[in-house]
């Protein structure tokens, strides 16, 4: 059962279902089990279907959809395959700072190719010592003449191993000048000094690869600075507010699939002479799954609506992300318990894959612990 707060959502659901039947269902298992390499052709199919630039501005090649339509897209893609939802979500995350803070020239250069899926963008914020503590950036860009000379390393960067360009967060200035504030620079991956590496043996979301970026005496014109010097941390946090709603939508899609699979299995699995759906223990699991799911969906839609209205939504995004990611874990865990061995073995059902894919929702775009800090801080302020 799906609940729409906007009639346009159903059209999005129908569109994703049609795409899934033709393009996702035949390949998602193979992509999950393949060598760890971004499926570029598959990514470009998403682009041609309009699912990469879904919320990007029309004037730059996107579809210009509302946030509620966008999170419905991510929810539905996650229902069919969470990794495919992530493939569609990462570009929106990566170009958000360009859409909102870049110059017109930068927007014209980077957005159309990103919206079409021709070019792969990345959001290069996290470092080994700057994960939850995102302000602790160690990457330094020194100004030499009219160029930045950048040295540093980024890790856990979605598509960092395959990107064509990235929004890089770093400090501009000399290390001996104290601690300059975080700034943002758009960097191209085809310049000397840029190296991208795939982080191997990921637990889940395998089709959407995660990488490490190494920058060694990397040079790029100072015209690639994004926005104002020292505003990078604010740009990054604004980006993550919106991205957290997208993660919540992934959680809703995963939870819905887990519930649907559990209900279907409970009705068909015979034990002690009757479907296990007749057992009170199973009914209570399904009741709790459905309640967690609908609460997660309501929080997610509320945050998206607030974003569409231009209202401040930081706390609502964190609440949605926190609850929906943990609701997805709860639902997948209960679905695994209902399926028993048939859920644990990937040959028999999708539950094993959902179990692996879900876990990262509680980690990326701010861990559940960080979300609790954000939420509490807003109430206590």
Cβ atoms of 121 and 110 within 8 Å: the answer is yes
pLDDT, position 37: 87
Please indicate, yes or no, if residue 277 is contained in any of the structural domains: yes
Closest CA to 227 of 70, 100, 124: 100
pLDDT, position 3: 87
pLDDT, position 134: 85
Closest CA to 350 of 256, 268, 252: 256
Supply the residues annotated as catalytic. 365
Last residue of a domain, which of 229, 256, 282? 229
For residue 69, what are the domain limits?
Answer: 8-120
> Could you tell me which residues come within 8 angstroms of residue 39 by beta carbon, excluding any fewer than 6 positions away?
31, 207
pLDDT, position 181: 86
Across the chain, which has 381 residues, the per-10-residue mean pLDDT values are 90 98 96 88 97 96 97 98 98 97 97 97 95 89 96 97 97 70 96 97 95 98 96 95 97 98 98 96 98 98 98 97 98 98 95 98 96 96 88
CATH number at residue 167: 2.40.110.10
Last residue of a domain, which of 229, 251, 277? 229
Largest Cα–Cα separation, the chain = 80
3-state SS class at 121: strand
How many structural domains are present in the chain? 3
Cβ atoms of 99 and 44 within 8 Å: the answer is no
Please indicate, yes or no, if residue 190 is contained in any of the structural domains: yes
- Distance CA(126)–CA(130), nearest Å, equals 6
Same domain flag for 341 and 238: yes
Closest CA to 27 of 13, 12, 41, 47: 41
Same domain flag for 150 and 62: no
Beta bridge partners of 152: 215
Cβ atoms of 89 and 159 within 8 Å: the answer is no
């Amino acid at each position: 059962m799906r609940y729409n707060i906007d009639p346009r959502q159903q059209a999005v659901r129908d569109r994703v279902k049609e795409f899934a039947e033709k393009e996702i269902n035949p390949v998602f298992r193979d992509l999950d089990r393949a060598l760890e390499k971004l499926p570029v052709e598959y990514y470009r199919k998403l682009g041609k279907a309009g699912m990469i630039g879904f919320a990007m501005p029309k004037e730059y090649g996107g579809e210009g959809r509302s946030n509620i339509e966008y999170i419905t897209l991510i929810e539905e893609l996650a229902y069919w395959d969470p990794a495919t939802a992530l493939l569609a979500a990462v570009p929106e995350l990566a170009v958000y700072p360009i859409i909102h803070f870049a110059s017109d020239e930068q927007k014209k250069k980077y957005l159309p190719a990103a919206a079409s899926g021709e070019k792969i963008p990345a959001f290069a914020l996290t470092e080994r010592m700057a994960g939850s503590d995102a302000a602790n950036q160690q990457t330094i860009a020194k100004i030499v003449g009219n160029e930045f000379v950048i040295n540093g390393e980024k890790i856990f960067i979605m598509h960092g191993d395959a990107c064509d360009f990235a929004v890089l967060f770093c400090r501009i200035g000399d290390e001996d000048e104290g601690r300059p504030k975080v700034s943002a620079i758009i960097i191209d991956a085809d310049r000397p000094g840029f190296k991208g590496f795939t982080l191997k043996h990921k637990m889940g979301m395998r089709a959407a690869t995660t990488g490490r970026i190494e920058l060694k005496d990397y040079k790029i014109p100072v015209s690639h600075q994004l926005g104002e010097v020292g505003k990078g941390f604010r740009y990054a946090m604004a980006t993550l507010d919106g991205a957290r709603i997208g993660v919540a939508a992934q959680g809703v899609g995963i939870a819905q699939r887990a519930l649907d699979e559990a209900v279907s299995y409970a009705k068909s699995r015979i034990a002690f002479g009757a479907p296990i759906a007749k057992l009170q223990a199973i009914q209570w699991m399904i009741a709790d799954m459905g309640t967690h799911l609908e609460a997660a969906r309501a929080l997610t839609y509320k945050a998206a609506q607030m974003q569409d209205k231009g209202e401040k939504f930081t706390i609502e995004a964190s609440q949605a992300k926190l609850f929906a990611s943990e609701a997805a874990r709860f639902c997948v865990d209960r679905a695994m318990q209902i399926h028993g061995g048939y859920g644990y073995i990937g040959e028999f059902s999708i539950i094993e894959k959902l179990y692996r894919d879900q876990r990262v929702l509680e980690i990326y775009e701010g861990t559940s612990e960080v979300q609790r800090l954000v939420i509490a801080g807003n109430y206590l302020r």
